[in-house]
Structure 1
């Protein structure tokens, strides 16, 4: 199994040490660097070219949004996972637009953080369920769904809609497969089909397009 290399960027030393402890407990994730702000984080990322960079939002010198933009521009193969105490839509949306493929709150359970790193590395993306709801709600408020219609070639099949509904709950491929009683490979096939139809690069963009089209309903 290939190890996933990770860089942690957070101005709180205790957070960095806690994340390092989580990663030492698993065999497939290796911490290859850490930094206390965005400027240093970008330098470390350039030097190590990690699979995933975990970024705090508010840091001295360079914050998470600016750092995410720079990292994605220079290292397009590196995934960005935001992890912060702020889960409000006004900070989630800019971070996603900056190129983050995942957004977790710092009070997430260790196993959820580890799973999120794996999902971002796999190109799946990862959002806390609470963050997913806020993101969708903001997009719906900013752009009324009645103003966006799908073209005939963008319309999803019934099974693709089922997968989309599960995705909006923040579920992984395995969880979606179990909920729909299909294989993970089938879930991946449906997700790839949706990405092609909508020109989406990842699961986060699928959610954004689904919200704009009114396909995701909030409870």
Structure 2
């Protein structure tokens, strides 16, 4: 299976994580905290294939009172240190691919008001060089899947657009993420389930297109019919 190192210069799909600094200016040492996600079934380091999605998530954390988080290229995060001591099944990336939404086109939140994202769990595959450095290798199939997912939920040109935004300045990304959140409606997942049963449980995916300043919603499981309990 062909793999790609995320630090390679020709990497066309950089990955991003979230870190909170605790005293150092660099996110590669012991003085930072990395955002670690736990769900009912999986847990691992939260990562993003889209710099814009990472910035949207970061700004929403700030609105929930969780300040200090910053976006960082994944290759700058010491994943071995972050995951050291954890059981093998918890040593993984949780790759976020857009945002979960209801069929009423509202972004879904959990009970802590955090945004819910469609997640692709990836086992950590670290490669050790002769100089003792650890580098993260990811199977090329993962990047191919992300491209196909983006085409499905965002349209044929969405992947190209996300590669462009990866090179944007922090201020431009922050402005676009602000526009995205300003134009979004939000709904609590638990409340939707209690009211409508299986409808509105996250099988709708939302992505924000900065070229149109609009959200795009894609139904991932076909037409649904609302049914009361």
TM-score by length of 2: 0.27
Q: Which has the higher strand share?
A: 2
Structure with more of its chain in helix, by fraction: 1
